[in-house]
Each structure stands twice: as structure tokens, then as C-alpha cells.
Amino acid sequence: LHFPCPPSSSSLHSLKFLSRVSSHSSLMTTSEARGFHVTTTRKEIVAPASSPLLPLPENMIISVSNLDLLLPPVDINVCFFYKKPLYNTTNDVLKTSLAEALVSYYVLAGEVVANPITGESEILCNNGGVEVVEAAADVELRELNLHDPYQSIAKFVPMKVHGAFAIQITELKCRSLVVGCTFDHRIADAFSMNMFLLSWAEISRSDATSYVPSFNRSLLNPRRPLVIDSSVDQMYMPVTSLPLPQETTNPDNILTSRIYYIKADVVRELQTLAGNGKRTKLESFSAFLWKLVAKHAATTTDLKLLNSKLGIVVDGRKKLTEQETNTYFGNVLSVPFGEQIIDDLTHKSLSWVADEVHKVLESSVTRDHFLNLIDWIETRRPVPVLSRIYGTGSEEGPAFVVSSGKSFPVTRIDFGWGSPVFGSYHLPLGSRTGYVMTMPSPVVDNSAGDWMVYLHLAKGQLKFIEQEAPHVFKPIDNDYLKI
């Protein structure tokens, strides 16, 4: 995950834990969500389980890597929905296994603080713990509008006040359960969070864990001497160069989120149309969506000759070749992008657009790209930097970023009472740059390979996409999820 939300100076300083109160019961705070209420019944701080055989670090500082410094102080949500368990379960099971999981993933029990000298972010591993919110909602699982995450997911994830990570466990009226998480993107990308979620679920089932996370930031150290590649300047910029934000007055230009599913045969058809199998499914899908976004922009005559930008999130773990990076916990991401004239994207073939998408990736899925990026960031410190695609101004054409969430282990997040019937990341962002994430379908028997797609785009773009491609983008619903 890599998100278009530039940092503000005030938000770079995390609040410290004011207390270590372990439990606050009978809080009974209530929030209302489009026809139903979510009531908080208890809050508790869960700290890593203590063990004399595995002592925990105390007030250890972990410096963030140069790639972590690409991330603004933004919180990301991920949420899982479960049918009523066949047997009675308690939240204590989740909290006990969480405490055990935090022993290995101790950074999640810490907090992001500012270095007193440089002002840059660093991780204070103080074992402060994770706030767990327990709640109840007067709604049934089948009544939720999962197509619109603001009407559903947003009410089942906690507001993170302190620390780097928070959890909310909500019981619905039908006894179904929702487990929602909020994490600080500066310490983890989606790959890292997926590792933790799998480990937490495995511990809850008393299974052996599949991963041992590595926090060895030296794997991403800059080279000595630095090797400066000027081409990085074309992709990244200091935040001091960002255009001033302008208020959006047209409601169609306000970004919002929707979740769809795409049938496997449609994904394969797009791949065939985009190059007869020559291009990957992600490249083909990205090209198809880029054409749709451009076609929507072309309905406004003034925009036809402007450029539209498409970025692709690239995970550098495998590119950096070190075996340890396969379980590296942190951010190992880059966001290369390309831009084309809107009129060309609209009128040229899908295969041509797919070739342009491929060119974006071709120069960036290499070890050298990531090493050059790490060195380039070193020359800009302590000024924060970000991908230029996130600096798209209001006078420019539309821009969006696509991220592949194919490793999202939605059906494997089983805490002992079965796989979730639905799970998704949620990115309530406030940028002009759109964000798209493809994920595996949560349907357990998804042997065909259906996709679920999270679109965070302008309201006008979403309406146009639904009108132009209803055979591709189908709103997620209870019938498909078999709820």
C-alpha cells in the first residue's frame, strides 16, 4: 500500500501514551452509521505477552528506512466480517493470541515519534500495547452495504488515538463478528500487515506461525558512496514543491470509495484484449481502467489535450534479492508512473495503452531502481519526499495509482471459527489522486480466480465507470458473498 496524502508539519509528531491504564469498561459510547448504531462497550490496552525465555525490547528506538520516509502520517484500515460462530467464542481468545503475536511484532505495540534532532519519524518500541475496542452494533450482517465502505467498514474500524496500531471487535445483532484494524502506514505496508494478520490468526488457532518478521533496517541502507540517478527526479519530489491544495466545489470531483467484484473470465478476457496474453492481468486491468478514466475526462472538452497519470505500486522485496527481505516488516515500495494525453488514451487501442502501462513497470521492477531511490532519498533528508503523481494539481488531468493486493490472505484470516465472508482494506484519503487496489475474492471456493476491486476515485468517475462497464465492475453484494 502506498497512499496519496501529503504530510502536514503538525502531524509528524505522534502523541505519546499518556497512561497505561489496562482496562476501561462500561464506556458505552455510541456512533451512528446510516441507519444503525455501533456502541463501544469496553476498551483495553493489550501489551505483548511477557516471557523470561523471550525478553522484550524496552524503549528501543528503531530508525525508519529511507523507503519508510516516503510515507506520510496516514492511518490505514483493514476489516474482516465473520458469520456467527458455530460455538460460543469470546473476545478473550483474540486478545490472548494478540498478546502472543505482539511478542514477535513488537513494533505494533510501540509508537511513531519524532527524532528530537532531525524531526524525522522513528519507532519507539516501548511495549505500550495495542488498544482493543469492544463494541456492539444493532444491525445484521446481511443488512450491511459492503459496496460502500463508508456505510459499513468505516464504522467497524477504530480511531487510532495513541500508538501505531488499534483493533476493534464488534458483535452484530445476529451474533456475527467484525474484526477491524487501523495501523500507521509509516511502519508497515500491506505485505507487512498481511504477515501479522496471518500470524495472529495462526496463534489464535494454536497453529505454528508461518512467518518470523525481520526489522533489520540495514537491509535498506544507502550505498557508500551514494550513486545518484537523476531520473529519480522525474518520479519523486520534496513535499515543499507540492502545489497548494484547492477546495473542490464540484461534488462530482469529490473522491469516495466503492468495492466491486470482477469475474475471473472477465479478467482473462481483458488480458486477451490487451495483448493476447502478452501483458499481465494487472497491466491489462490497469490499462482498461486508465482508458475509462480518460474517456470520462474527455467528456469535458478542455481536458482532452491534458495528460492523465497512472501509477503502479511496486514491492521491492524480491528485487532486493536478500532472503531476509521476504519477511521484512516495513515499507519496501515505489510508485513509478506514466502519463499520456487523454485524447490518445481514449482513441488508441487497449493493447497500446497496456504497452504504455508495461513501460511504466519495466524500468522500475529492478534492484537498481530501488537502490537508486534509497540513495536519492538520502540526499534529500530531512525534507520529506513523495511520488510526483501525488502532487497532481487541480489544473491537470486525472491521476490514480493501482496496487496489486493479490497476496491479501483474506480467506486465511481464520481465528478458529472459520474464514471471513468478506474482508477488505479501506483507505479514507483526502487527495486528488485516486487509489485502486485489486484483491482476491473473499468467496472461499474461489477456484476460478475472481477479483475484488477497491476503487477510491471521484464520484463522477465512479458513476461513469458503472455506466460504461457494468459487465466488468459488479457491486459487491450478499448474493455474491453468499451471506
Q: Looking at the structure, tell me whether residues 51 and 119 fall in a common domain.
A: yes
Does 134 fall in a domain?
yes
Which residue, 201, 220, 239, sits at the end of a domain?
220
* 309 three-class SS: strand
Q: Which residues contact 170 (CB under 8 A, 6 or more apart)?
A: 38, 134, 135, 136, 137, 156, 177, 178, 180
DSSP for 332-400? Answer: -EE--EEEEEHHHHHHS-HHHHHHHHHHHHHTTSSHHHHHHHHHHHHHHTTS-EEEGGGG--TTSPPEE
Does 284 fall in a domain?
yes
Which residue, 220, 242, 258, sits at the end of a domain?
220
Does 97 fall in a domain?
yes
Q: Which of 370, 50, 376 is nearest to 219 (CA)?
A: 370
Q: Looking at the structure, tell me whether residues 434 and 371 fall in a common domain.
A: yes
Does 297 fall in a domain?
yes
pLDDT of residue 246: 74
Q: Looking at the structure, tell me whether residues 157 and 284 fall in a common domain.
A: no
Are residues 2 and 403 in contact, defined by beta-carbon separation less than 8 angstroms?
yes
Q: Looking at the structure, tell me whether residues 271 and 189 fall in a common domain.
A: no
Q: Looking at the structure, tell me whether residues 416 and 360 fall in a common domain.
A: yes
* pTM, to two decimals: 0.90
Does 1 fall in a domain?
no
Q: Looking at the structure, tell me whether residues 134 and 255 fall in a common domain.
A: no
pLDDT of residue 22: 30
CATH number at residue 273: 3.30.559.10
Q: Looking at the structure, tell me whether residues 72 and 157 fall in a common domain.
A: yes
Domain count, the chain: 2
Q: Looking at the structure, tell me whether residues 283 and 393 fall in a common domain.
A: yes
Q: Torsions phi, psi of 184, nearest 5? A: -80, 115
Q: 409-423 as b/e, with b when 16 or more CB fall inside 10 Å?
A: bbbebbbebebbbbb
pLDDT of residue 409: 95
Which residue, 204, 220, 236, sits at the end of a domain?
220
Structural domain range at position 172: 10-220
Residue 231 grid cell: 531520473
Does 142 fall in a domain?
yes
Residue 373 grid cell: 531511490
Q: Looking at the structure, tell me whether residues 268 and 162 fall in a common domain.
A: no
User: How does pLDDT run along the chain (483 residues), one tens digit per residue?
Assistant: 544 443 333 333 222 222 222 333 333 344 444 579 999 999 999 999 987 666 777 789 999 999 999 988 899 999 999 998 877 777 999 999 999 999 999 999 999 999 999 999 999 999 999 999 999 999 999 999 999 999 999 999 999 988 999 999 999 999 999 999 999 999 999 999 999 999 999 999 999 999 999 999 888 999 999 999 999 999 999 998 887 777 777 889 999 999 999 999 999 999 999 998 899 999 999 999 999 999 999 998 777 889 999 999 999 998 886 665 689 999 999 999 999 999 999 999 999 999 999 999 998 889 999 999 999 999 999 999 999 998 877 778 999 999 999 999 999 999 999 999 999 999 877 678 999 999 999 986 767 799 999 999 999 999 999 999 999 999 999 999 999
Q: Looking at the structure, tell me whether residues 255 and 339 fall in a common domain.
A: yes
> Degrees (nearest 5) of the Cα angle 264, 79, 108?
125
